[in-house]
Amino acid sequence: MTRSQQVSYSLREISERFGGEIIGDPDIRVREVATLENAGPGAIAFLANPRYREQLSGTRATAVILGVAMRDATSLPRLVCVDPYACFAHVSGLLNPARQAQPGNHPSAVIHASAVVAEDAEVEALAVIGGNTKIGARSLIGAGCVIGGNVSIGEDVRLYPNVTIYDGCVIGDRVILHSGAVIGADGFGIAMSEGRWLKVPQIGRVVIGDDVEVGANTTIDRGAIDDTVIEEGVKLDNLIQIAHNVRIGAHTAIAACAGVAGSARIGRYCRIGGASGIAGHVTIPDHVEISTHTLITKSIKQSGTYSGAYPFEANREWRRNAAQLRHLDDLADRLRALEQQLKQPKRSES
Amino acid sequence: MTRSQQVSYSLREISERFGGEIIGDPDIRVREVATLENAGPGAIAFLANPRYREQLSGTRATAVILGVAMRDATSLPRLVCVDPYACFAHVSGLLNPARQAQPGNHPSAVIHASAVVAEDAEVEALAVIGGNTKIGARSLIGAGCVIGGNVSIGEDVRLYPNVTIYDGCVIGDRVILHSGAVIGADGFGIAMSEGRWLKVPQIGRVVIGDDVEVGANTTIDRGAIDDTVIEEGVKLDNLIQIAHNVRIGAHTAIAACAGVAGSARIGRYCRIGGASGIAGHVTIPDHVEISTHTLITKSIKQSGTYSGAYPFEANREWRRNAAQLRHLDDLADRLRALEQQLKQPKRSES
Amino acid sequence: MTRSQQVSYSLREISERFGGEIIGDPDIRVREVATLENAGPGAIAFLANPRYREQLSGTRATAVILGVAMRDATSLPRLVCVDPYACFAHVSGLLNPARQAQPGNHPSAVIHASAVVAEDAEVEALAVIGGNTKIGARSLIGAGCVIGGNVSIGEDVRLYPNVTIYDGCVIGDRVILHSGAVIGADGFGIAMSEGRWLKVPQIGRVVIGDDVEVGANTTIDRGAIDDTVIEEGVKLDNLIQIAHNVRIGAHTAIAACAGVAGSARIGRYCRIGGASGIAGHVTIPDHVEISTHTLITKSIKQSGTYSGAYPFEANREWRRNAAQLRHLDDLADRLRALEQQLKQPKRSES
């Protein structure tokens, strides 16, 4: 645990803020969150995944957050919620408030004379801020960040150390960018001409909406001509590639190591699995779920879940089966031939 | 649009520089590039992909660049070219010239006394340059870059902020390295000995040829003993891993999230798709195209296109089909048994 | 070659340190390692992979390291070892010692007054070290690194430039972190509530054991509540994602571009291939090998090798076979129907 947690709250205070039914002493106080397994006195734990139910009996937590189906699964003081994980998120946010900007700029930061940093914003050591760039109220720019010129950064933004933002990009309010994220690098725009690649200048911007979070070492390229757009509430994990002119709809979440190719358009409230890929110029509607390690090669018409990972096996079985995969079309032909030989009515091959 | 675009050119001037047939008023002037969809007066747009043809009728562009097949698809002033995308790249480069180095070193940069920075080069704020390192004419070293000792950087090079180059690496002329790129980190050389991994010192270099561009957060490891070599004109997108002792032939382009394992040799003019992988010690000849999400596990003999992505489906169909994939070899055996039972001449199983 | 290599050793001295049988003049001296192909006088080369055996005859190396089976494959002075690659690793380490910390902090580094940096540690230019952080003896913090508050860094640690470590993380002795690595960014913890994602504070730490090496631009997220743990001797290549609450057992090695999802537990002495993925909450026992491009979707019970990459083909064949893959379940049904029609006893389908 890395944050000092002095403040405590009673179950009653928590319930008043976030809802939930109290069972047991409403005045019992908690001052930190913990897992059922490692909780100690003063901690509030939660049970959202039934697979951890056994841990309830042995926990030393002072109180627990439970779903309705589990309301009687313990005798500990408890808060019973429709969605215990969301309730836990609220409680943890209350007990672990994010670090606030401490107004002022570290003397080692290099801030262009024409940049406008809000008075109550904070710029940490050795950050660099370019000309005509604006940093909004209460925003916190981490050490070693380099922000180009003509960038607009909203209010209550948190940039962790060593983030890079190229010229002209726009960052909304309450955005969080983790270390190593690169916003606005050139899209991969090249044209072959007489045996050499010509560079196509990438003159669009990256525009990031409010309440977006971008993981460590994730890259979002600027548009070739128009902008790359990340709508409000989008959550991107680490090491994700977002190519030029992509648009990601509001409240979509993408897990680590995924890649979205140029000009793809992803809808709202999608959930994209880790190491998945979205091909260029593809359109994905709202409320689509893409499984881990899946490559989407063409546009999807309907919401739903789409998958395409190769099922793993012990190496010996994989070798045998994968070898046959190279003969699958031949195998289908042979099956069809047998069917015809037997004069059975040929079935649909869908 | 992030660059001020004051200068304008007539279609005649453009045609004189880059070729193409003018249809309409040759003296009409353009000062910026734009998409057909978002162009306004003074903009020149282009049509290379037929799927956007409909946008021609509604565009407010002052002029357009078109392929020969489309020469009569609009009445706007136009430049008709054999390769409209390459023509557009030229025009955009003319209207959006790259930022030039402004000679001088920011006082906050930390430059070793033995480093040699060309007089007309620029070193931005808080960059670090090691001992005996040379920076060539007109090169621009971005803020926060760290360049080790004994590095050689050519002329007209652009390092965006927060690039890292390890000791001893060589960077050619006109190279562009985007933010977060790491050039010359140790290759993954380990030897198991008595239950522990021994580190194998990585003493080769990374040698990058002229006109190479490296995307954001891409990593190119130094050679174990000899060098890792990226030949001239290679274009690497973001988040790519190039392992130790790889050699990539001239003018090969690799899309984002790909990985090339140790000692692989890739030919010239290859195009490697995103999130693809090249296994260690594999050789790939010139003019090979690798599809997205494809793993190349052995050397390729002939130029051509190679693929190996699992086709995605709705999750329910994927579950049914992927489950059968684990029985594919058994299925092939059963089909063969039926064929024999029916006494038909056994067909080749290739 | 980037390190000056003045010191030389005789074969006798080498054999005394690391074992191996000398054949030829034991007093012959070598001062650098080289490949068979590029060795010159004064170099010692090695042959571990039989495919390079032909290079033995043409090498200009002064001496070579060989396996027992190759002991008579050359007349050069040689050191015959059971494991020539491990022997070579030892010799290369002897001839290419790692750069040692030169005690002292560069005046441009920004070190919090409450940080404790060992007297014989070195902090390079423009590094930032937070409050209450401890840097152990002989550790070397590269230029541009940003280390948060309350971080503990052991002895003989090497941080290459531009590494970021978040607050509260723990780094063991002799750890090596390469440039762009991000240790301790927030795990991807979000809960959907009323149409918006709530952020779940990530209050665990990252705890890295002794002798761990982490590649360039690799990210290791802090735990959601408890810690993310990388045990001693683990070796991680570049561009790897380790999610929150993962535990990686001692001496496991993971190749580049792999991703390990939240709460996965990987055993000791595993070898995980490049671009592979481990799903969340999965358990993998000791001594498991995962092939490149393989997704592990459920827990593994037994040690062994597991695979799941799609076999690549020429594009035309892939198209035909991959298309049939979408009908595989139907194909299996049709085969079963034929079998029944022929009244042969139905065989097991698994």
Helix (H) or strand (E) holding C130: none
- Return d(Cα B108, Cα A115) in angstroms, integer: 18
Mean pLDDT confidence for A184-210 = 97
Residue C2's pLDDT band (boundaries 50, 70, 90)? very low
- Return d(Cα C153, Cα B292) in angstroms, integer: 40
Q: Which of C33, C293, C297, C307 to mutate to test the interface with B (most CBs of B within 10 A)?
A: C293
The pLDDT score that the predictor gives to residue A347 is 52
Residue A51's pLDDT band (boundaries 50, 70, 90)? confident
**Token pair of C198, please?**
């709530």
The pLDDT score that the predictor gives to residue C347 is 52
Please write the tens of the pLDDT for every residue from A143-181.
999 999 999 999 999 999 999 999 999 999 999 999 999
Helix (H) or strand (E) holding B171: strand B170-171
**Binary contact (B226, C38; C-beta < 8 A):** yes
- Which C residues in the span 191-250 are in contact with A, Cβ-Cβ below 8 Å? 191-193, 195-201, 203-205, 217, 219, 221, 225-226, 239, 241, 243
DSSP structural state of residue C315 = H
Residue A189's pLDDT band (boundaries 50, 70, 90)? very high
The pLDDT score that the predictor gives to residue C85 is 95
Q: Which of A293, A295, A317 to mutate to test the interface with C (most CBs of C within 10 A)?
A: A293
Mean pLDDT confidence for B177-203 = 97
Residue C3's pLDDT band (boundaries 50, 70, 90)? very low
Interchain CB contact of B100 with C (< 8 Å) = no
Minimum distance, in Å, between the CA of residue B139 and any CA atom of chain C = 21
- Is the pLDDT at A3 greater than 50? The verdict is no
Mean pLDDT confidence for A85-101 = 96
3-state SS track over chain A: CCCCCCCCEEHHHHHHHHCCEEECCCCCEECEECCCCCCCCCEEEEECCHHHCCHHHHCCCCEEEEEHHHCCCCCCCEEEECCHHHHHHHHHHHHCCCCCCCCEECCCCEECCCCEECCCCEECCCCEECCCCEECCCCEECCCCEECCCCEECCCCEECCCCEECCCCEECCCCEECCCCEEEECCCCEEEECCEEEECCCCCCEEECCCCEECCCCEEECCCCCCEEECCCCEECCCCEECCCCEECCCCEECCCCEECCCCEECCCCEECCCCEECCCCEECCCEEECCCCEECCCCCCCEEEECCCCCEEHHHHHHHHHHHCCHHHHHHHHHHHHHHCCCCCCCCC
The pLDDT score that the predictor gives to residue A1 is 40
The pLDDT score that the predictor gives to residue B50 is 84
The pLDDT score that the predictor gives to residue B333 is 93
The pLDDT score that the predictor gives to residue C51 is 82
Interchain CB contact of C167 with A (< 8 Å) = yes
- If you average pLDDT over every residue of chain B, what do you get? 95
Please write the tens of the pLDDT for every residue from B252-275.
999 999 999 999 999 999 999 999
Catalytic (active-site) positions of A: 244
- Which C residues in the span 291-320 are in contact with A, Cβ-Cβ below 8 Å? 291, 294-297, 304-311, 313, 317, 320
Please write the tens of the pLDDT for every residue from C241-269.
999 999 999 999 999 999 999 999 999 99
Mean pLDDT confidence for B118-130 = 98
- Is the pLDDT at C111 greater than 70? The verdict is yes
* 3-state secondary structure (DSSP) of residue C342: coil
- Catalytic-labelled residue, pool B90, B112, B178, B244: B244
The pLDDT score that the predictor gives to residue B3 is 46
Interchain CB contact of B82 with C (< 8 Å) = no
Which distant-in-sequence residues (6+ apart) come within 8 Å of B98 by Cβ?
Answer: A201, B158
Interchain CB contact of C346 with B (< 8 Å) = no
Mean pLDDT confidence for C158-183 = 98
- If you average pLDDT over every residue of chain A, what do you get? 95
- Is the pLDDT at A348 greater than 70? The verdict is no
- Is the pLDDT at C106 greater than 90? The verdict is yes
| H-only helix segments in C83-125 | 84-95
Please write the tens of the pLDDT for every residue from A251-301.
999 999 999 999 999 999 999 999 999 999 999 999 999 999 999 999 999
> For chain C, what is the radius of gyration of the CA atoms?
26
**Percentage of chain A lying above the pLDDT 90 cut:** 93
**Binary contact (B315, A291; C-beta < 8 A):** yes
Interchain CB contact of C144 with B (< 8 Å) = yes
Mean pLDDT confidence for B17-38 = 96
- Is the pLDDT at C344 greater than 60? The verdict is no
The pLDDT score that the predictor gives to residue B347 is 52
Interchain CB contact of C7 with B (< 8 Å) = no
Chains that touch B (3 or more CB pairs under 8 A): A, C
Contacts of residue C322 in chain B, CB cutoff 8 Å?
307, 309-311
The pLDDT score that the predictor gives to residue B320 is 95
Nearest-by-Cβ selection for C344 from B150, B226, B341: B341
- Is the pLDDT at A84 greater than 50? The verdict is yes
Contacts of residue A151 in chain B, CB cutoff 8 Å?
none
Domain boundaries, chain C: 9-95, 104-306, 315-350
**Binary contact (B35, A327; C-beta < 8 A):** no
- Return d(Cα B53, Cα B70) in angstroms, integer: 9
The pLDDT score that the predictor gives to residue A49 is 85
Which range (A277-291, B37-51, B278-292) has the least confidence?
Answer: B37-51
**How many other CB atoms are found less than 10 A from the CB of residue A77?**
20
Mean pLDDT confidence for B128-157 = 98
Tokens 């001594």 locate to: C287
The pLDDT score that the predictor gives to residue B247 is 98
- Return d(Cα C237, Cα B324) in angstroms, integer: 34
Closest CA relative to residue C30, chosen from C17, C13, C16, C18: C13
Contacts of residue C327 in chain B, CB cutoff 8 Å?
321
**Binary contact (B185, C96; C-beta < 8 A):** no
Note the CATH number of domain A104-306: 2.160.10.10
- Is the pLDDT at A350 greater than 70? The verdict is no
Please write the tens of the pLDDT for every residue from B288-304.
999 999 999 999 999 99
The pLDDT score that the predictor gives to residue C254 is 98
The pLDDT score that the predictor gives to residue C6 is 67
Q: Which of C2, C213, C333 to mutate to test the interface with B (most CBs of B within 10 A)?
A: C2
**Token pair of A227, please?**
């902008």
- If you average pLDDT over every residue of chain C, what do you get? 95
Residue C194's pLDDT band (boundaries 50, 70, 90)? very high
Residue A50's pLDDT band (boundaries 50, 70, 90)? confident
CATH fourth-level superfamily of B9-95: MurE/MurF, N-terminal domain (3.40.1390.10)
The pLDDT score that the predictor gives to residue C349 is 47
Chains that touch C (3 or more CB pairs under 8 A): A, B
- Return d(Cα A92, Cα C312) in angstroms, integer: 47
ipTM of the complex: 0.95
- Catalytic-labelled residue, pool C106, C112, C244, C281: C244
- The reply to whether domains A9-95 and A104-306 share a CATH topology is no
- Return d(Cα C189, Cα C226) in angstroms, integer: 13
C-alpha dist (Å) from residue A118 to A101, A156, A157, C207: 11, 11, 12, 36
